[in-house]
Amino acid sequence: MNYPKLLRSRLYISHSSTVKKKYYKYLIYSFLFVSIGGLLTYILSPPHQNLYSFLASGSSFSEHDAQDSLIVNELNRRAFNGRLTDPKTTIEIADSALKLATKLGFLPGIAEAFRVSGVGFSYLENNSMAVKNYVEALRMFNMLMDDKNVARTYSNIGSLYKYNDPEKALNYYHKALKIAKIVTDEELIAGIYFNMALIYSRKSEYNKSLINFDRSYNIFRKLKDTISIVIYLQNTGHVFHRLNKIDSAKSRLNKAVRAAKDLRLYTTLSGCYLSLAYIYLEQDDFKMTEEMIFNGLKYSQKTHNPVLDNDFVRVTYELELKRKNYQKALKYLSLAYRTDSLLLNENLSSNIDINAQHYLQQQKIQEKELIITEQKYRVAKFRWIITLSILVLVLSAIAVLIVYLLREKRRKRMEIIIQNNITSLEQKALQAMMNPHFIFNVMNSIQHFINQADAKSANQVLSGFARLARKHLEICMNSTITVQEELIYLRLYLSLEKIRFCDKMEYEIYIGKNVDTEEILIPSMLIQPFLENAIWHGIMPKEEGGVIKLKFNLDETYLVVTILDDGIGISNSEKMTRAGHISRGMSLIRERVGLLNRLNKRHIFIDQQQTGDYGTEVLIKIPA
């Protein structure tokens, strides 16, 4: 059946209420079904142990042991924080933490001690021992289901490959990043972005490198991680050097040097001085190059890192070569070559050791995991049952809620469309009603001249009326027009009235300098009825005539239209008007403005008042 629109709207709302009740029933049924299913599963399943209870069985912690476990955590933290200052000490402290944690049977402390030891060995370029410790840490973190530290260890392993196999390193970083985002570990996410940036830098993909550096920096700054920010400055300084942005490179490296000295970050200091040495060498500033090498070696020797020492030997060779001190240059080149050969052989053997150790560790992992597979399966089964029950419950509730919200949204949208259509139709009907009223008054003007046998004036009015009627038809086709179009229309109207009333009526139009008449839009047919009212009810009753002033100004976000007349005033006009008479034009305007204000958030304001004993001021504020 073809119901009227408003009736269809009511039927739709009624139907929506029924649907709403129906979906509440579905929600209750889903909740009961899942809850009963989860409860039966729990009752029928055998009792399970929590993984941590299982791991701790046979080893109950006393209060003294708990205090010692805190000592283990503190040792691991100190060891990790010292990796940039003295990696050798990092390994020694981590070894102490490992011994104490093993004595206590404190598995998280043991796993972290292995990981930190791996970090220390990696800073000493001992990849064989690093990977051995990382694999052991990874095995234990997996057993503890500690996803956060599993991700950290993946990131550490990725760092081992960043110089020899960038693609493999990126693969490990991506694995770590995926887990880190799940557990929302911002510190780890920042570190992974940072390491990926280093990889892209080595691959000369500097734009990708800077993007990842900046991602990490935003998190470091949020976490107030001063040490990481210093390392960020060092590495981005190196990237800017590669991009030939020397001033930016120097600025960042010098900032890093100042901060690293306060924090005693010897590895970072050595790296900064090395980069600065190459920059000054490129600029042929041999004195500053020599100073950078001297400072860098001073800190490099504290790190016990042979690679860094050899880097300074190489830059010294390039310095002497540029100075044309060929004998010294040859000496340093020979030393660098011998060191490179030793490091190459060590790296080759390290690669072999990495593969061998990794294989052996994987074998051990498989053997040990066979022992605890059954226990882990029981724990996992219990956790999965609970998780799935909760998941089904949540998904059911979400599904019902989404369907309800979508239907509610659709219902409200339909109500808005229907209301807008009604309001739009009412507005057009008001405009159509205003047209006969306006034409009636203009025809009176023409009739006046015909009665006075003034053919010339009648012809002028008729010609002007033709132009005005054409313009009237144009602007009535649009709900909004520019101020410029409104001014053309108003000038035509006022000029016609001026012809009719001659010296009895004068008018002035003022447009403020800040009013862009071509850009500002206003509702059509809004101002003219007020001018007509001012002429007929203000000026015409006066014996000596008067002046109408029309002003357009911009006040912040409103166009302010002021209509001033020195007529008889509102109170005198009301006395002269027959009792009960209401201007149809004014009534339509106010109804129309009311409708427009219902449609728009920003309202049109109209204020009309007498300025004294005589005269009237109309103030119209229109959103611009």
pLDDT at 12: 40
200-226 pLDDT, tens digit each: 988 889 999 999 999 999 999 999 989
Check if the beta carbon of residue 275 is closer than 8 Å to that of residue 241: yes
For residues 310, 312, 318, 320, the Cα torsion angle rounded to the nearest 10 degrees is -110
Q: Which residues contact 442 (CB under 8 A, 6 or more apart)?
A: 461, 465, 468, 496
- CA 341 to chain CA centroid, Å, is 51
* Cα 213 from Cα 276, distance rounded (Å): 20
* Cα 537 from Cα 582, distance rounded (Å): 12
pLDDT at 57: 38
- Within 10 A of 600 (CB to CB), how many other CB atoms are there? 10
Q: Which of these, 48, 30, 27, lies nearest to 386 by C-alpha position? A: 48
pLDDT at 562: 96
* Cα 67 from Cα 104, distance rounded (Å): 11
331-367 pLDDT, tens digit each: 887 777 666 555 544 444 445 344 435 444 554 544 4
DSSP classification of residue 509: E
Cα–Cα distances in Å, from 338 out to 124, 293, 332, 341, 451?
A: 19, 20, 10, 5, 121
* Cα 239 from Cα 70, distance rounded (Å): 41
Check if the beta carbon of residue 120 is closer than 8 Å to that of residue 135: no
* Cα 292 from Cα 316, distance rounded (Å): 10
At 204, give phi and psi (nearest 5°). Answer: 65, 20
Q: Which residues contact 66 (CB under 8 A, 6 or more apart)?
A: none
DSSP classification of residue 453: T
- CA 494 to chain CA centroid, Å, is 54
pLDDT at 59: 43
* Domains of the chain, first to last: 427-623 (3.30.565.10)
pLDDT at 583: 63
**Could you tell me where the DSSP H helices lie in 144-265?**
147-161, 166-182, 186-202, 206-223, 226-242, 246-263
Q: Which residues contact 59 (CB under 8 A, 6 or more apart)?
A: 105
Check if the beta carbon of residue 474 is closer than 8 Å to that of residue 486: no
pLDDT at 291: 92
| DSSP letters for 188-213 | HHHHHHHHHHHHHHHTT-HHHHHHHH
pLDDT at 95: 93
Q: Please list, residue by residue across 551-589, b when 16 or more beta carbons sit within 10 angstroms of its beta carbon and e when fewer do.
A: bbebeeebbbbebbbbbbbbebbeeeeeeeeebebbebb
Q: Please list, residue by residue across 165-195, b when 16 or more beta carbons sit within 10 angstroms of its beta carbon and e when fewer do.
A: ebeebbebbebbbebbeeeebeebbbbbbbb
Check if the beta carbon of residue 265 is closer than 8 Å to that of residue 85: yes
DSSP classification of residue 320: H
* Cα 65 from Cα 150, distance rounded (Å): 25
* Cα 175 from Cα 151, distance rounded (Å): 7
- In the chain, which residues have pLDDT < 70? 1-65, 337-381, 415, 418-438, 441-442, 577-585
Check if the beta carbon of residue 338 is closer than 8 Å to that of residue 17: no
* Cα 194 from Cα 173, distance rounded (Å): 10
| DSSP letters for 279-309 | HHHHTT-HHHHHHHHHHHHHHHHHHT-HHHH
Q: Which residues contact 389 (CB under 8 A, 6 or more apart)?
A: 34, 37, 38, 41
